[in-house]
Structure 1
Amino acid sequence: MRILLAEDDASLGEGIRTALRRAAYAVDWVQDGAAALTAIGDGDIDLVVLDLGLPRMDGIDVIRKVRAAGGNVPILVLSARERASDRTLGLDVGADDYLGKPFDTPELLARVRALLRRSVGRATPTLEAGALSLDPARLTAIWKGHTLDLTRREFALLRLLMEQQGRPLGRETIQQHLYGWDEDVASNAVDVHVHQLRRKLDPGIIRTVRGIGYALGDPSDAAA
C-alpha cells in the first residue's frame, strides 16, 4: 500500500515515515501543501497522512481541492490545532479521520489500518484466503499453521495480492505499492520479490498472468 505523508516538521516527518515503512508501507513524503496536492493528483496513492499547518497551502485547502476534484483517497489529518471547531472543520471539508498532536505511533498505525480497511470495504482486521492468513497489525502471515519468515517487502507484496482478491496486477502497479519515489528500484525487483515469496508458499499460490503480471491463486486448492 502506498501512503503520501505531508508534514513540514522534518524530525516528526522522518519519524512517521520510518514507522510507516517498518509497517511495510511505501511512503512518499512532501513538506508543503502545494506539493501534497500535486502528488495526490499525479500518484497512485492509497492514503494521505496530512498535517494542517503546511506552508504554501494549508491542509484544509488541500482537502477541499481534492474533494472538489472528485478525489476519494482516504485522508488522515494530523494537527496540533486543539480546538473542537478545527477538528470539526477538518472532518466537514472531507477528512476521514483526525489525530491530534502529540500522538502515539501505535495509534497512528491503527488508524491507518482502519482507514485502509474501510477504503476496500473490509471489516475484519485480518486477511484470509484458504490456509493463508495475514495480520497487518502484527505484520505476520500464517500459511498452513506456520508463521512465514517474510521481509518487509515480501509482506507488502503478499498483503497487496490478498487485498486484490485474485485480480491480476501489473509489475509497475506492484512496484508503485512497494517503493516510495525516493527509493532505488532494480528493474527486476518485483520479479525477485515474487520468486522469493513463491519459495515460502506452495507452487501456484502466486500465479503469473501472461502479458499482465501477477495474481494470487486459490490457496484453498493448495491447502487440500
Structure 2
Amino acid sequence: MADKKGRCVVLAGGPIRAEELRLLRPGDTVWAADAGLKAARRAGLVPELCLGDWDSCERPRDAKELIALPAEKDDTDTHHAARLIAERGFAEALLLGCLGGRLDHTLANLSTLLYLTGQGVRCWLVGADAAVTALHSGSLRLPRRPECYFSVFAAGGEARGVTLRGMKYPLDRALVTEQFPIGVSNEILQETGEVTVENGTLLLVYSKRE
C-alpha cells in the first residue's frame, strides 16, 4: 500500500469560528460539506471538493469538484466526506463545524471520527470550545493546554489497559467503560501527557474552562 498523504480539512455545516479556521496549514486540502461552503466563502477559501445534498446551501456552479448527494441517504454529508478521505489515502483529517450545533449531528460526527480512526486516519473534530480525537489500541502524546480540561471516555465498549501519565489524575492499566465516566475533567500537568489503551477505543477530549 502506498504511503498516506497529507491532511484533509472538511468544513461542515455547524458553527465555525475564525479562530478555528486559523488551524489550517499550508498544504492542507480543503473540502466543503453542504453549508460548510458558506464558511469557506466567508473566509475566502476555494474548496477542492464540494459535496452535499444541498438542502442547507445553494448548490455551487463553479466548484472544482462537485458531488451531489440524495437528500434521503444513510450517510450524513460529513460521513460521506469521511469515506472519501479514507478512499483517497489521506493520513490526517480536521473536521470543523462538527461540534456545538444539534446534539444528534454532534453524535453523528463523533461516529464519523471513530470511523476515520478505524480506517487509520488521525482525525480531530474542533469547535465549540472543544477538540476531540480518538485512540484505538495504542499510545498518543498530547500537549498541555492550561486553558482546557482533558478527558477520556470509552467508545464502542470497554477500553482495557488505560494508562494516563503526566496528568493530575493518573491511571495505570485501568478498565474504562461507557457506564462510568472515570476519565472526565482531568488536567495535563506536564509539557505533554501520554495516553495508552491496550485494547479498545477512547475518545480524547479537550474542553475549554469557563
Query: Normalised by the shorter chain, which TM-score bucket?
Result: 0.3 to 0.5
TM-score, with length taken from structure 2 = 0.37
Q: Of Structure 1 and Structure 2, which has the larger fraction of its residues in helix? A: 1
Q: Of Structure 1 and Structure 2, which has the larger fraction of its residues in strand? A: 2
TM-score, with length taken from structure 1 = 0.35
